[in-house]
Structure 1
Amino acid sequence: MTPDLRSQLPLDEQVAALRDALSQNPTLVTVLERTAALDLPGWYVTAGAVFQTVWNVVCDRPADAGIRDYDVFYHDASDLSWEAEDVVVRRAAEVFDDLGVEVEVRNEARVHLWYEARFGVACPPFRSSEDAIDHFAATTCCVGLRLGADGGWQVYAPHGLGDVFGMVVRPNPVLAPRHVYDEKTARWAREWPRLRVLPWPEHA
């Protein structure tokens, strides 16, 4: 398989290529624009809808193929109650209602309150949305984007974008247990057969 040449570009050119790729998914662009209007603290559109749109473009598939939902992170530690988060979730549901896709909005300041019950390992409180993105099960997934005050795209990608364009899934054993990585990558490999999934390190 010939690697996508965008995986070898300098980072600033990769960011431009990322915007070009993501712009081919009009639903993602609409989610980005409407989330900006919600004015949530520390928000990002992140997770599968971002890197999977890139995979679809690289594979010459429809830009939204195989994308289950659109994730929005924000971080508000001023009130950690579910009731406060639910107010935001309900407001967002109204904003995205006509899109015909699931948009999941979550306060990352609250994740430590429910993570262990769901995944079986304790989670430290996230200090920011960036901190939450840093803890995805694969480094390839650690990409978020939002609109700045000037309307420009801001990209958070602590591990770069080479693996995203290169369709390499690299484990990130800092929080999520191995079975989470294995389950996610098994589904992704069925949907995007060109992926090269690297194994979970045995020492993790």
Structure 2
Amino acid sequence: MSKKIKNFNIQIDHREHDDRIRKAACYYKSKGDTVNVKELLIGDYVFNNQVCFEYKTLKDFIGSVESKRVFNQAIDQTTSFPYHFVIIVASDMEKHEYFDGLDGEAYVFGWDNYDGAIARLNTFTTVKECSTEERAIKFMRQQARKCIDNKHVVKRLKQKTDNPAFNYLALTKHIGDDTAELIVDNLGVYDLDDLLQLDNNTLQEINGVGSKKAGIVMRAINKKKRGL
């Protein structure tokens, strides 16, 4: 039986809110963890270089959905860490104020937008809602322990590469690693710009990529072009 982990080496992005950093560091250190505040290229909280959390207040989450940033952040997490989550910190009252409006008129970003964004993110990572900052800080440590102790993988690539085109295709539903590898190897696709130049006919010239699969790939490419 593998030995259960007791303490963590935790990295916190230095761009997090100062007060939140202080509270998180204080709590984690009280548990015997080591905390290092630094600039992180991906995520806001990383446990043992394996479990990554993107932390969003409700306002941050809404803004990042509207700019499409949170989806790219989540994809970056999936290609860099075996375990990855998006944390949304919002009370029921906050959600009511944002989505129903204080005067009974809903904001442009409403419940359907919120639920739809979470549903989309849950296709390739896991979204967790926490009602308070304190709950979120505790949850991240609990979830990290569960992931590492139980070796439960949320979503991971069969192979990790430095090629963003491969990573994007491999994480797209109904494409996967094998088709992604066929495309990048046969067509010399080395980055997302190369990927966005592909067309349906070129894809079907690849042995093993038929019309149906080419159509799926083109839909993924067109979504990327639109920034979705």
Same fold by TM-score, threshold 0.5 exceeded?
Answer: no
Which one has a bigger Cα radius of gyration?
A: 2
Q: TM-score, normalised by structure 2?
A: 0.27
Greater relative contact order structure (CA < 8 Å, 6+ sep):
1
Q: TM-score, normalised by structure 1?
A: 0.30
